[in-house]
Amino acid sequence: MSETSCPESVVPEPRPPRRTFFELVTYGLGAIAAAVVGLPFVGYVVGVRKKPVAWVPLGSVDGFPLNETRLVTFANPLRQPWDGMVANTGVYVRNQGEDQLEEFLVLAMNCAHLGCPVSWFPQSGLFMCPCHGGVYYANGERASGPPPRGLFRCVWRIQDGQLEVQAPHYPTLQDTLDQTA
Binding interface with another protein (CB under 8 A) = 45-46, 48-49, 51, 73, 76, 78-80, 82-90, 110, 113-117, 119, 121, 123-126, 128-133, 135, 137, 142-146, 148, 169-170, 172-175
Min separation Cβ 174 and another protein, Å: 4
Q: Which residues partner with 91 through β-bridges?
A: 72, 108
| Nearer CB in complex with another protein: 25/173 | 173
What are the Cα distances from residue 62, in Å, to 31, 104, 180? 64, 12, 26
| Nearer CB in complex with another protein: 28/130 | 130
Min separation Cβ 175 and another protein, Å: 4
- Beta pairing class for 119-121 and 126-128: antiparallel
Strand order in the sheet with 119-121: 119-121, 126-128, 135-137, 142-144
Min separation Cβ 40 and another protein, Å: 16
- Give the number of other Cβ atoms within 10 Å of residue 104's Cβ: 20
